[in-house]
């Protein structure tokens, strides 16, 4: 982290640079963009994680849609799967393997992975996350 805060003419100029979370910052006291999951990753919002590795964080969803509802979140800020590049392919694999581990931790429970990519299809947090849903019979989607 590099933090820099200076007072100029009564206004506070605050710039925060994070290598993993470059997407939120304050300029002239105005929040340009915020990402709730980046804040969780940075520890700015306290949360109890289910799993925490170098690249991946798993949280319990605050509004669970199933008895088991985890969110698998990459620590790197990527808006959705459309933002992934070749360099992120290992991470993509890690996210899926995290789902496998979560099932293992729950006695091999069957599960559904759901990823919303874009506001029109239901994405409300613009930091890619995999919904891990389990613990009850889920409705057919199609
Ligand atoms: P989506 O609609 O796919 O973007 O899903 C966002 C999910 O994040 C929703 O299921 C929310 O309940 C969940 N959520 C939002 N904020 C938090 C938080 N601070 N901790 C855990 N889950 C959250
Ligand atoms: Zn983010």
What is the pLDDT at residue 29?
Answer: 59
Q: Which atom of ligand 1 is nearest to the CA of 116?
A: 3
- Full-model pTM: 0.82
From residue 30, give the alpha-carbon distance in Å to each of 9, 13, 33, 71, 92: 16, 9, 9, 29, 33
Question: 113: CA distance to ligand 2 center in Å?
Answer: 20
Question: 90: CA distance to ligand 1 center in Å?
Answer: 24
Q: What would the DSSP string read from start to end of 17-28?
A: E-SS-TT-EEET
Ligand 1 neighbours by CB, cut-off 6 Å: 36, 47, 59, 61-63, 71, 116, 122-125
What is the pLDDT at residue 4?
Answer: 42
Is the pLDDT at 125 greater than 90, yes or no? yes
Residue nearest to atom 15 of ligand 1 (CA): 62
What is the pLDDT at residue 141?
Answer: 87
Tell me whether residue 119 is one of the annotated catalytic residues: no
Residue nearest to atom 20 of ligand 1 (CA): 62
Catalytic site residue from 69, 77, 119, 129: 129
What is the pLDDT at residue 33?
Answer: 64
pLDDT in tens, 42-52: 999 988 899 99
């Amino acid at each position: 982290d590099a933090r820099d805060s200076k007072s100029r003419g009564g206004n506070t100029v605050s710039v925060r640079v994070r290598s993993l979370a470059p997407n939120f910052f304050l300029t002239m006291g105005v929040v340009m963009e915020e990402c709730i999951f980046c804040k969780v990753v940075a520890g700015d919002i306290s949360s109890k994680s289910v799993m925490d590795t170098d690249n991946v964080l798993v949280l319990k969803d605050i509004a669970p849609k199933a008895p088991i509802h985890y969110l698998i979140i990459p620590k790197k800020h990527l808006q959705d799967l459309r933002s992934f590049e070749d360099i992120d392919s290992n991470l993509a694999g890690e996210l899926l393997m995290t789902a496998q581990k979560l099932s293992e931790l729950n006695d091999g429970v069957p599960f559904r992975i759901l990823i919303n990519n874009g506001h029109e299809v239901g994405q409300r947090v613009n930091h890619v996350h995999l919904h891990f849903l389990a613990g009850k019979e889920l409705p057919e989607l199609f």
